[in-house]
Structure 1
């Protein structure tokens, strides 16, 4: 290494394999990343606390519990303790899904409650400043810092670094599906390095989708201990009886491997899954999806307030866009279309017009050129789209008037894509479940590729949202929508 050359603190897991053995230092990146997150949270909290105290000038006070240093130190210590107690620094959640931000939010809420009770007990006059100014500022800074660190981690994973070596054990079909998913979504941090297959499959096929078959299902524990895999992914196969799964879990004790069992209900996840012990038997309890109640009421309030705020924010842009649309081609600025919403009720959706007037009459002539998936009609280079319309579609600006639909309650900020009546009429019973909730301005489909997605994948994402909806998931989708819109991928 030449002098002055920077050393990547997260080396690639590739090149760590020696005679089929993965060295333990290959997983040091997990602890390094954890230390970086802890340091960043600590520095961010200290910076906010110091800035708040300095800006509001609360150093001078007669009572000890009013002094700036006492309140500042107490607030920072309380936040850091809450983060540790809530396991917001657990390696299993860092860089993974919405759970990281859920724990971070829960920690800060706990800190706010404890700080409030402490302020009441001490009769502190300055405590409101720390509860209503400092803690929200800490939440904003730490969540932004965590998100930036996650983007950096995902970039490393796409380059083959910071990946957990996985041993997949199950039937060839289910293992192949797991391999395909890990390759499609490298940011999740898994890379299947080896496979164990059932006895009746034998070892005649020495690879599954390019991954070597190293043994049979009965050999899993031995390979994990000998080769140092970080994750053991157990996929469905008749071999896996409760007794064998329990024995495998016992045999993995003392190793660094995490055992992950894929349930039969593959698309049910998150807050709906609970493990309960009933009569000494561990049971996976699946709660009913939430379509009514307090959380839905909160979602409705957030939708309307968010839509009103965004309409005010984008009002100047919408006026300019309307003028450009009318100047580019004959016709009005807005396009109205009937769509199907919650419980199959039709409503009128608003969009900026992106096609020439009377474009619907030319659709039949273009039917043979349809590039849309399933029931969708899409053309990458649709001759009916205007010049301004091409730009509006690429960056989803044409959908801004749908904020009016959200404001009036026929749509939500986040939800499944609103289908056309003819699409909805062709739905089967399973696909009709997407009509159990309000359609959304954005959703999992938009942050996952939009029109580039196959029809089956788009439906799967919509149904997953219906089944696993949560306020935390909505927040993540809204955050990721901005990046998806700026990239313009899959929009045409």
Structure 2
């Protein structure tokens, strides 16, 4: 049964949002000034370049013009647009692009003008400048995400569509609070829903789609999310955007295409109509040799490095009740092949015999059955589960090819038998020790959310995403978020 939760909304419009670009500009200025000092300091100790060009000359006209030109290039590339700040790779790509354009323009300009610019200073300034700029952006993003998760620097969002689509959008925005979108309410497109006070997920219904602009003004909305169900003809959308922009309100169109990564989407305008091209699912790439080599090398290295932890956990289990050290459970892997999943035993010996009784007691289904205060967990099992030490033996599953370091969670047959609505796509790749489910809340997620994340991973696999998940796993494990 789906839990009904009221959505958290932004109480007041955030006036500080307008200062974000200026704050970032000031930080970039400091970073580039620091890069200049680093280049000066480093150039004195360089012996690679033999040209006796004086640094005083290098800091003449070229040095004075480079700093504002560099910042201007970032601005022209869109590096200070609020839409790209805080989310996605576009912000970093624009900074990198602007840096290379500035370096190229300076190099060509000095060549044409026959200006004697120190090569060592040139290379050090742009290398250090790029690194510092990206570090500033990353640090700013971390601060921004932390502030947004605490309810600050939020944009007030009004969602328009059917109650079902409104709930889908609002759940995503509520879960990904670092985006800074606080849903203040919704306008509905279906006449039968206009009498509702709120949707099933608790989003206040503020009116019908016909009164969209009035409702947005009355509630001081910063952004309007238009779902596919509210979009009429192209002319209607264009006129709506024209009307809304006069009031300083942004428009975000949320099409019905969901759970598809940016890498698979290509927007191509044809005759003024933006066509969304969706690439094929990338689950086949997850079975390539490169991922297997990564798994073998990674698991072998981790087994070697973590051998003291293996020994300590084994001793703790044996001293507690003298029972078996490992728990071997049949799980369903890639292409529905069954294998023995290895874990350190964290429960009493007859834990499996108590599952059905506990399900009846808690009213939970078999799909992803978990209990927060499970009476079957032993004393050493509690700390092992908290820090995911119990799952370390699965590194041997990875080594022998049953599992991968990153992938969907391996499940038992009774859970697989409950699959519906495309859930079986999880079985197209090897299950993983960690995955999107692990780093996005673990057991705090509902079974539906966990399944959706696993299917998203399968359809949108990439090696870069695997590496990012592994890094995020370290934070999730030490933070013990959702671990029980």
TM band (smaller chain):
0.7 to 0.9
Following superposition, the deviation at residue 70 of structure 1 comes to 6.7
- DSSP-derived class of the 2:347 partner: coil
Are 1:63 and 2:51 matched, yes or no? yes
Q: Using a 3 Å threshold, how does the CA distance of structure 1 residues 257 and 291 change in structure 2: closer, same or farther? A: same
Instruction: Give 1:343 shift.
Output: 2.1
Which runs of structure 2 are paired with 1:194-213 in the superposition (5 Å)? 194-198=185-189, 200-201=191-192, 204-205=195-196, 209=202, 211=204, 213=206
Q: Unpaired runs of 5+ in structure 1?
A: 1-11, 17-25
Whole-angstrom distance in 1 between the partners of 2:149 and 2:255 = 27
Residues 272, 210 of structure 1: CA spacing in aligned structure 2 closer, same or farther, 3 A cutoff?
closer
CA apart distance, 1:414: 2.2
The aligned runs of 1:9-24 (5 Å cut-off) are 14-15=11-12
Distance 2:91 2:337 in 1: 35
- Provide Cα deviations, 1:430-483, integer angstroms capped at 9, x if missing partner: 111011122222122112322232222221121122223334443443333233
CA deviation after TM superposition for structure 1 residue 289, in Å? 1.0
* Pair 1:489 & 2:481 matched: yes
Corresponding residue number in structure 1 for 2:20: 33
- What does residue 164 of structure 1 align with? 155
**Alignment partner of 1:32: what SS?**
helix
The answer to whether 1:103 aligns with 2:96 is: no
What are the ranges of 5 or more consecutive residues in structure 2 without an aligned counterpart?
1-8
The structural deviation recorded for 1:378 is 2.9
> Does 1:189 pair with 2:180?
yes
CA, structure 1 residues 175+382, in 2 after alignment: closer, same or farther (shift >3 Å)?
A: closer
- In structure 2, relative to structure 1, the CA distance for the partners of 1:320 and 1:80 (3 Å cut) is farther
Q: Name the TM-score, length of structure 2 as normaliser.
A: 0.76
* C-alpha deviation, 1:353, in angstroms: 2.3
Tell me which residue corresponds to 1:412: 404
**Equivalence map 1:267-286=2 (5 Å):** 267-278=259-270, 281-286=273-278
Contact 2:95-2:133 at 8 Å conserved across structures = no
Cα deviation, residue 163, structure 1: 0.8
Structure 1 residues 465 and 368: alpha-carbon distance in aligned structure 2, compared to 1, 3 A threshold: same
Q: SS of the residue aligned with 2:367?
A: coil
CA contact (8 A) 2:155 2:223 kept: yes
Aligned residue number for residue 260 of structure 1: 252
Q: Following the alignment from structure 1 to structure 2, what is the Cα–Cα distance between the partners of residues 79 and 329?
A: 66
Q: Paired residue for 1:22?
A: none
Q: Give TM-score, length-normalised by structure 1.
A: 0.75
Aligned length: 462
- Tell me, yes or no, if the aligned pair for 2:158 and 2:184 is still in contact at 8 Å: yes
* Gap change, CA 1:366 and 1:238, over 3 Å in 2: closer
Match of 1:155 in 2: 146
| RMSD of aligned alpha carbons | 4.6
The CA distance in 2 between the partners of 1:274 and 1:306, in whole Å, is: 33
3-state DSSP of counterpart to 2:283: coil
Contact map agreement 1:101 1:143 (CA 8 A) in 2? no
Distance in 1 separating the partners of 2:197 and 2:286 = 53
